[in-house]
Structure formats: structure tokens, C-alpha cells
Amino acid sequence: MNTKSREIIVHSSQESFNELKNGNIRFLKGESINTNYLEQIEQTKKGHQAHAVILSCMDARVPPEIIFDQGIGNLFVIRNAGNLEDENVIGSIEYTVRYSTAKLIVVMGHSHCGAVTGALNDIQHGHLSQLVEQIKPAIKTDKSCENILTDTAKFSVLQTINDIKERSESISELLMEEKISIIGAYYEVETGEVFFFE
Ligand SMILES: [Zn+2]
């Protein structure tokens, strides 16, 4: 197996998307190549050109650098319970696309998400209450529907994407100018596969 890392230089959101897609395919085949972390530390010690920003859940089974086979220095990663946006998250994304090198924003939900389950079960506890409250508008199906957990996680991703666009003039402007793209994704913890939304 080739474990030699290479520098990833990306010029467009499409190239960034291809990197992530191909990286997940390599990961699924057990053929990850960006795993020589000491070499990547050497390559990035003076700076990096991370090509995408991933807003994903903090779930321990969803580490973007690994599942997209990107190693060190290629991704900005923002994680919290339920991959939700707030002022700090949006500010962080604005930084990556305005002042750094990110061309693609990915909002990624996942299967068996505890935060989404919390919203469905209406958990009330400390600061968690407002967190699950933010997910609740994404509950679109009847509670008896067997796909409710999956559907809500996916709707929540779309809701977060809309919120980011609505709340950030800076990001919307770059999207309109087609300098960056934003896309939703869903990660299956059972298989390791990432499904990108159309
Ligand atoms: Zn989760």
C-alpha cells in the first residue's frame, strides 16, 4: 500500500469536491494515502492550503480528516453536536473562504446522530435544550415513520445550509460569484460511506 502523502493543491470547488469524493472511496477500500502524518507535519510547517471546510458532528465516529483521507493540513474542520451553525461557526466559515484557501463548504450529518435523537425525544437539559431546539424544525415526518432519524438528520443539514446562506452576506456573495460552493453530505457510521446531496 502506498502510504506516501502528497500535497493537495486545489483551484476550484469542483476539484475540492473530487478530492473529498475520491478520498472517501480510498478510505472505504482501505487504500488511504494521506496517512504519513510526520511527513505532512513537515510539508505544512510553514503554512497550509486547506481546500475545504467541513461542518460536521462531534460524534467520535465521524472524523472528517480520516473518512475523506485528507490527513493533516488539507481541511478546516468545525465540529459540534448536530453539525449546527451559530455566530461562531459562521464567523469561522467566513474566515476560511474569505481570508484563507477553502473553496468548498460541506455540512455533513450522519446516521444514528445523538443530537438528532435528542431533538426527536425532546431532551430538556441545561444548554442542550436550545441545541436540540435548533434541530426541531427539521422534523418533517411523523414520529411513527421508521426513517425519521435519517430524514431529520438530512433535513437538518439542509436547514443549516439555508441558515448559513441567510445569515452570512459574506458567504452568499462568494456563492453568487461562484467563487465557492456549499454542499450537504450524510455519513453512514455503519459503512464509512459519505453520500453527497445532489
Ligand atoms: Zn451526531
Determine the distance separating the centroid of ligand 1 and the alpha carbon of 35, expressed in angstroms: 25
> Interhelix angle for 87-98 vs 169-176, to 10°?
40
Determine the distance separating the centroid of ligand 1 and the alpha carbon of 38, expressed in angstroms: 30
Question: pLDDT digit of tens for each residue in the chain (198 aa)?
Answer: 445 556 788 889 999 999 999 999 999 999 999 999 999 999 999 999 999 999 999 999 999 999 999 999 999 999 999 999 999 999 999 999 999 999 999 999 999 999 999 999 999 999 999 999 999 999 998 888 889 999 999 999 999 999 999 999 999 999 999 999 999 999 999 999 999 997
pTM over 0.85: yes
Determine the distance separating the centroid of ligand 1 and the alpha carbon of 173, expressed in angstroms: 29
Task: Compute the distance between CA of residue 22 and CA of residue 36 in angstroms, rounded to an integer.
Answer: 18
Determine the distance separating the centroid of ligand 1 and the alpha carbon of 186, expressed in angstroms: 11
Domain boundaries, the chain: 13-112+166-196
CATH of domain 13-112+166-196: 3.40.1050.10
How high is the mean pLDDT of the chain?
A: 95
Task: Compute the distance between CA of residue 154 and CA of residue 186 in angstroms, rounded to an integer.
Answer: 7
Determine the distance separating the centroid of ligand 1 and the alpha carbon of 82, expressed in angstroms: 5
Determine the distance separating the centroid of ligand 1 and the alpha carbon of 169, expressed in angstroms: 28
Contacts of 27 (CB under 8 A, 6+ apart): 66, 67, 68, 69, 192
Label residues 147-165 b or e (16+ Cβ within 10 Å = b).
ebbbbbbbbbbebbbebbe
Determine the distance separating the centroid of ligand 1 and the alpha carbon of 160, expressed in angstroms: 14
Determine the distance separating the centroid of ligand 1 and the alpha carbon of 112, expressed in angstroms: 7
pLDDT in tens, 79-131: 999 999 999 999 999 999 999 999 999 999 999 999 999 999 999 999 999 99
Determine the distance separating the centroid of ligand 1 and the alpha carbon of 103, expressed in angstroms: 25
**C-beta separation of 61 from 67 below 8 A:** no
